[in-house]
Homo-oligomer: A and B are copies of this chain.
C-alpha cells in the first residue's frame, strides 16, 4: 500500500501561525512541504531565519507569487494578514485546497465583514462555499469543502463551550457573556507596537477592544446557527502576561432550573465522544492553559451556579494550536480523508 503524500505550501511562513504550521507539518507522516513564502526573507534558507527550526530537509523561502506556482500543490495554508488570502483564493483553488488562517472567509455576511475589517471583499463569490473549520462542530461541511475558513482563536474556545449547550436547549440564547483571556502571542510576530514590547506587556493585565472586537460577529454567527432566535452576546477579551494560551470563561442563563451539573457534563461528553482533542473535565477539575501548550488539545468543563441559575463554562486552548495552526492541520486531515489526529499527537509541554 502506498502512503498518501499531501504536498503542502505555507504562505506567510515566518509569522507565528506559519512557524507553528512548520513545526507540526515537518513531522506529519503524510505531508511534504513543497513551498513556504515570506516576502521579507525570500531567498533565505529557513534555518537561517529560524535556527531553531531543525527540519531534516531545509526549505528555501520564496515570494508568495512564486510559492503558489510550485506545481502539484495539494493544499495551501494561508497564514497571511487579513485581506490577502481573498486575493489569491481563486488561483489557489484551481489546483488545490485552501485552508485560510485569516478572517477572510469566516463571515457569511459580506457587509458585516466590511464593517469589522474595514475592507472590501475581493472574492465575495467564494464566501458561501467556505466551510467554517471547527471540526468538532462542523465535520460534514469540512469533509466536502475545498475552501476552509479556519476559526479565530477566541471563537474556537467559546463555540466549543456554548454550541453543545445551545443545541441541547439547556441554556438561553440571550444574555451570554464571554470573558476571555489571551496570551500575548495572539498579537502576532509583527506587532511592533509599544503595548506588546516585553517591558509593557509583562506583569500586567488589561481588557481591550470592548464591544468592538472583530471576533464578536464570528462568534454570534455560529451561535445563531446553533440556537434559533439568538440576538447578541457580550465579549470581553483581556491581554494576559503569558506567551501562549486562551482561557474563556462564559456565563449563560440556564433555560430551566432542573438540569444538574452532571447532565451538563454529559452533554459535552456526548458531543465530543470519540473526538481526540476536546477533553471534558469532571466536576473536581478546572482547566489550565498550560495543559494545552504546544498541543491541539482543548480542555472544557462547566459549573452550575444554582443560586443565580447560571452555568459557567470554562475552556482552555493554545491560541497557536487548537486556536490556529493545529486546527488548520486537523482540517487538512479531514479534507484529505486521514484520521483527524494524524500528526497531531503532541502532548502539552509541561511545565
Residues of A within 8 A of B (CB): 16, 19, 22-23, 26-27, 50-55, 175, 177, 179, 181, 183-185, 187, 189-194, 196-208, 210-211, 231-234, 236, 238, 240-245, 247, 249, 251, 276, 279, 281, 285-295, 297, 299, 303, 305, 307-308, 310, 312, 314, 316, 345-351
Contact = CB atoms under 8 A, between A and B. Distances in A.
A28 to B, nearest CB: 11
B206 A198 contact: no
A50 B279 CA distance: 12
Contacts of A314: 207, 210
A231 B181 CA distance: 28
24 contacts: A16-B199, A27-B347, A52-B288, A52-B291, A53-B347, A54-B295, A55-B347, A179-B251, A181-B240, A184-B198, A187-B199, A191-B197, A198-B243, A199-B351, A204-B289, A204-B290, A205-B242, A207-B247, A210-B305, A231-B308, A234-B251, A234-B305, A236-B312, A251-B251
B251 A177 contact: yes
Contacts of A243: 198-199, 202-203, 351
A190 to B, nearest CB: 8
A11 to B, nearest CB: 19
A211 B187 CA distance: 33
A249 to B, nearest CB: 6
Contact of A292 (B52, B55, B234, B247): B52
Contacts of A191: 197
A41 to B, nearest CB: 12
Interface of chain A, main secondary structure: loop
A234 to B, nearest CB: 5
A270 to B, nearest CB: 19
Contacts of A347: 22-23, 26-27, 52-55
A199 B184 contact: yes
Most buried by B among A196, A242, A279, A299: A242
Nearest 7 A-B pairs (CB), nearest first? A204-B290, A52-B291, A198-B201, A199-B351, A185-B199, A184-B198, A179-B179
Contacts of A308: 175, 231-234
Given A53-B347, A199-B243, A199-B351, A192 B192 contact: yes
B207 A249 contact: yes
Contacts of A192: 192-194, 197
A10 to B, nearest CB: 14
A285 B348 contact: no
A205 B247 contact: yes
A241 B245 CA distance: 12
B349 A185 contact: no
A219 B133 CA distance: 42
A189 B181 contact: no
Contacts of A238: 181, 247, 249
A22 B206 CA distance: 24
Contact of A206 (B196, B205, B286, B312): B286
Nearest to A308: B234
A238 B241 CA distance: 13
A234 B181 contact: no
A272 to B, nearest CB: 13
A190 B197 CA distance: 9
